[in-house]
Amino acid sequence: MLKICNTIVTPTFLFTILIVSFAAIAAGSDQPGDTVYPEAARPKDPGVPEFFVPPPPFTEGIFPCSECHAEMDVDTERRELGMHEEQQALKHAGPQQWCLDCHNPDDRDKIRLISGQLISFEESYLLCGQCHGTIFRDWKAGVHGKRTGEWNGKKLYRLCVHCHNPHQPAFKPLKPKQPPMRPADIR
């Protein structure tokens, strides 16, 4: 009898624990008005490739941003900045864009999607992809941007910001390598 009890009770007990824990998890994540959900719970884009060339190309000494910004008040006013000279000339979508459209005022070490989701700088492609959807699609497929590594295996992708300065995304002209010799000059 004891044996039978054991075999019946044990699974039931375990099941109860499971139910309770599920309920707890559900209650914990179900906070009203909270649009920011933890990173692990965010649905991953299945098309996003696994391989990157980390880390994002920050200007030296600029990250983490909170090192300075944690102490500062948030000023949402559009204005000339006393800092970040390299970003003074913001040439991205003209007057429609401003710092806080992408940068997050409350946690400066993250960037923010339109939905309010916070993402890390390592995932900045999600932010760029909000406006540049067709490019994002091509990038995921491997057609936009540079790939190195193996054509049939491990590929190294780059973040958008590895090639495009997010504040002035147009590609800078390059000096071309020397032209070939003319046949007449080849001896």
Partner 1 sequence: MSRKIRHNPMGIKLNRRNFLKGTALGVTASALPVKKADAGFLDTFFQEHFREMSKDEIEEVLTRLEKEYTETYKKSVSVQATPPLPGVVFGYGLDLSRCIGCRRCVYACVGENNQSRDPQIHWISVLRFKKGEKWSDLEESEKYYNPAKVPEPGYFYMPVQCQQCKNPPCVRSCPTQATWKDPDGIVVIDYNWCIGCRYCMAACPYGARRFNWGAPKVPNEEFNPNTHYLGNRPRYKGVVEKCTFCVQRSRVGKYPACVEICPVGARKFGNLLDPQSEIRYAIENKRVLRLKEELNTHPKFYYFFAT
Residue numbers of the site for partner 1 (CB under 8 A)? 138, 141-153, 163, 171, 173-182, 186-187
Give the whole-angstrom CA distance, residue 140 versus residue 133: 11
C-alpha distance across the termini of the chain, in Å: 102
Handedness of CA 25, 26, 32, 38 (dihedral sign): positive
Q: Give strand pairing partners of 112.
A: 118
Considering the complex, state which of residue 39 and residue 45 has its C-beta at the smaller distance from partner 1: 45
Task: Name the minimum Å distance from CB 44 to partner 1.
Answer: 18
Q: Rank residues 108 and 140 by Cβ distance to partner 1 and give the closer one.
A: 140
Distance between CA atoms of residues 173 and 32, nearest Å: 50
CB 112 within 8 A of CB 118: yes
Q: Tell me the closest approach of the beta carbon of residue 128 to partner 1, in angstroms.
A: 15
* Residue 14 structure tokens: 């375990």
CB of 133 to partner 1, least distance (A): 13
Output the smallest distance, CB 164 to partner 1, in A.
Answer: 11
Instruction: Give the residue with the Cβ less far from partner 1, 162 or 167.
Output: 162
Nearest CB to partner 1, comparing residues 23 and 163 = 163
Contact (CB, 8 A) for 114 and 36: no
